[in-house]
Amino acid sequence: MVIYRDEYRLYNFGPGHPFSPVRLEMLTSLLQALGVWKEPLAPREATREEVLSVHSERLVRRVEAASRGERVPDLEHYGLGTGDTPVFPGMDRAARILVGGTLEGARRILAGEKRVLQLGGGLHHAQYDRSSGFCVYNDLSVAIRHLTRAGLRVAYLDIDVHHGDGVQWIHYEEEEVLTLSLHESGRYLFPGTGHVHEIGRGEGVGRKLNLPLEPFTEDESYLEAFEALVPWALGAFRPDVLVVQAGADAHFLDPLADLLLTTRAYARIFPLILDYAEAYAGGRVLFTLGGGYSLDATVRVWALLYHVFHGLPLPERLPEGWLREWEGRLGQPLTPTLHDPHAPYPEIPRRQEIEKRNRLTLERLMELLRSHLVH
Amino acid sequence: MLIQDVMRFPVVTVEPGVTLEEAYRLLLERGIRHLPVMEEGRLVGIITDRDIRLATSHLNPRGPCPGCTRVAEVMTQEVVTAHPLDPVEEAARVMRERKIGSLPVLEDGALVGIVTGIDLLDALLKLTGVTEPSGRLEVRLPDRVGELARLTGFLAGRGINIHSLLSYPEDKEVVRAVVRVNTLETHLLAEGLRQEGFEVLWPPKKPW
């Protein structure tokens, strides 16, 4: 089941902002042009109370006031009105619409649906008391809380290139939520967190996993770590449902980060996630989108996700008419095939060192978690 | 950042007549490593877990006697101290130069706090801004008037909040500035900075 409504595009920080609603417009028009678009389920927007299941009243009040155009003097303390997360009219409702979509996904899972793809959301940086990094409200955590309140154990998997800090901190002390984030190391990259030693607190100890990868990590090294870590953690935790943040900004074309995945890695990752859901979570999986700031790459990665999700064969070339229209609108050439060309970037001289360091990080993480996760 | 911002208080202390066994138990219970020694409200020495372990080691020619040796026999006298208004870097320098792990903090002769290496590490974490969601820029600047202003002015013009700014000399002519900024868009900032003639070391320019 796919969840989407056009009003997702109201979540718009303005022209020139990387978190652009154009991505959704391009994606849905591409899926239509490919002839695979099926009418999605349109969710209702989340209520204020639903947002308050993971956020503070004082944050929500400020978002509401700022959305109405009121001047809020301490807005920056709440992570709003910044360069990354500026205020726009109607921001509260726009954010609640995205939350509503992911929450609807959680409801559908509880109602017996196995696979849900929410074509939006993934706002993993928003924290209890603070908006952050393009993320006003945390749709993922609202959905996760809905699932845990219904008694389910949730495994959250985050493949966005940035650490899923908001989701991690909100559930940091919860035993019934496993968070697992693979990301570019926070040594340099926003938000600066996601070290291997962040493993949870209190009841949550050993339930929060972070694999910080070296800048310029490529497909092979990423997949090696992914295939070693994810089934190991899921097998030990035995969740009832998998919630996946499928950010596409680990792609090598992404302008904000430095991992070097190609579409071929994603063509492996997405089916693996479905397999893992079958093996460890009764087949239940809820996907959301997330980061992804190269229009060219992001749209192809998510189109790939849509195909894998539906078990459709992958197209090779993208439709000519669609390409012509969007190349015209964007004023830039687009990759004409779903997959990246072979060897799309120059050889990375430090490859071996990077692979070695990633292996070491993985070993450290598994060593640190072994006694907690496997009894 | 001053000592009074990072020091711990109240301070756990001992009297000179206490045995090493009692002092050691106190260190274990409180999870600390340094005990200022007080006599009639006056600081007369300091004793650490290491002093006690060395004094009571089997390898010590005087032999282990934790129950009969007094703190006064082992403690370090002429204690190096700090004032609450000393800057933290001053405390770090003294501790590094003297190779000591803590400084009792005195004000008008009274013990008002203690600062240890751990507190200075906390201070360093805070100074580097890593406790806030942020990205990191590293820029090489000529060591001359106005260069940092040019850098911060550029960031201000882009509406970027700076969580922290550290700089240190690379050599006689060059300073490295490490800036933690409240943004995901460090790559775009780096591009902008390069166009303005700055030498940005991180994030790197991708050759494609």
- pLDDT, mean of each 10-residue run, chain A (375 residues): 98 96 98 98 98 98 97 95 94 98 98 98 98 97 98 98 98 98 95 96 97 98 98 97 98 97 98 98 98 98 98 98 98 98 95 98 96 77
CB-nearest partner of A191 from B134, B159, B188: B134
Q: What are phi and psi of A75, to 5 degrees?
A: -55, -40
Output the DSSP codes for A271-337.
Answer: HHHHHHHHHHSTT-EEEE------HHHHHHHHHHHHHHHHTPPPPSBPPHHHHHHHHHHHTS---SB
CB-nearest partner of A192 from B130, B160, B206: B130
| Res A375: pLDDT | 53
Q: Return the CA Rg of chain A.
A: 19
Output the DSSP codes for A21-89.
Answer: THHHHHHHHHHHHTT---PPBPPPPPPHHHHTTTS-HHHHHHHHHHHTT---TTGGGGT-SSSSS---T
Orientation of helix B186-195 relative to helix B147-157, angle to 10°: 130
Distance CA A53, CA A59 (A): 12
Answer whether A142's CB lies under 8 Å from A226's CB: no
Interface of B with A (CB under 8 A): 130, 132-136, 138, 158-161, 180, 182-188, 202-204, 206-208
Catalytic machinery residues of A: 125
Distance CA A342, CA A133 (A): 33
| Res B72: pLDDT | 97
Q: Can you tell me which residue has the tokens 């005990």?
A: B35
Distance CA A231, CA A157 (A): 11
Chain B residue with the nearest C-alpha to that of A163: B133
Does A345 contact B134 at a Cβ distance shorter than 8 Å?
no
| Res B153: pLDDT | 97
User: Residue-wise pLDDT tens for chain B (208 aa)?
Assistant: 999 999 999 999 999 999 999 999 999 999 999 999 999 999 999 999 999 999 999 998 887 899 999 999 999 999 999 999 999 999 999 999 999 999 999 999 999 999 999 999 999 988 887 778 899 999 999 999 999 999 999 999 998 989 999 999 999 999 999 999 989 999 999 999 999 999 999 998 887 8
The shortest C-alpha distance from A310 to chain B (Å) reads 32
Chain A residue with the nearest C-alpha to that of B203: A188
Does A346 contact B187 at a Cβ distance shorter than 8 Å?
no
Taking CB atoms and an 8 Å cutoff, what residues of chain A touch B130?
192
Does A82 contact B185 at a Cβ distance shorter than 8 Å?
no
> Which of B137, B158, B183, B184 best probes binding to A when mutated, by most A CB atoms within 10 angstroms?
B184
Taking CB atoms and an 8 Å cutoff, what residues of chain A touch B207?
345-346
CB-nearest partner of A189 from B130, B135, B208: B135
Chain B residue with the nearest C-alpha to that of A347: B207
Answer whether B142's CB lies under 8 Å from B173's CB: yes
Does A83 contact B185 at a Cβ distance shorter than 8 Å?
yes
Write the CA distances from A225 to A149, A182, A231, integer angstroms.
32, 9, 11
The shortest C-alpha distance from A332 to chain B (Å) reads 15
Which residues does residue B14 pair with via DSSP β-bridges, in sequence order?
A: B37
Give B13-60 pLDDT, tens digit per residue: 999 999 999 999 999 999 999 999 999 999 999 999 999 999 999 998
Distance CA A236, CA A209 (A): 13
Distance CA B116, CA B103 (A): 6
Quote the mean pLDDT of chain B: 94
Chain A residue with the nearest C-alpha to that of B184: A190
Does A165 contact B208 at a Cβ distance shorter than 8 Å?
no
Complex prediction ipTM: 0.78
| Res B169: pLDDT | 95
